[in-house]
Structure 1
Amino acid sequence: MARSTFPRDRFDDLSTDSGRVGAHRAENPGLRGWMVFLWAAVLTVVLIAVGIFGTLVASGRISLGGDESIAQPTPTPTVAGVVDTSFSVVVLNGTGQDGLATQLRDQIVAAGWSGDTVVTGDSDSTDFAMTTVYYVRPEDEAAALGLAQAIGGAEIAQNDFLQPADDPNTPDDEAQTRQLVVVIGLDRVPAAPAA
Structure 2
Amino acid sequence: MGQRGSTQPEARVLLLGLDNAGKSTLLYKMKHNRLVGTVPTIGFNVEMFDVKKKKKNFALTVWDVGGQTEMRRHWPTFHQDTVAVVFVVDAADRDRAAEAKRELENTLTSEQLRGRPLAVLANKQDVDGSMTVTEIIDSFHLRKTCGDRDWFAQPCSASTGFGLEEALKRIGHMIKPPTESAPNVKENIRDTMNYIKFKSVRR
* Same fold, TM-score > 0.5, yes or no: no
TM-score range, shorter chain: under 0.3
More helix by share: 2
> Quick one: higher RCO (CA 8 Å, sep 6+), 1 or 2?
2
More strand by share: 2
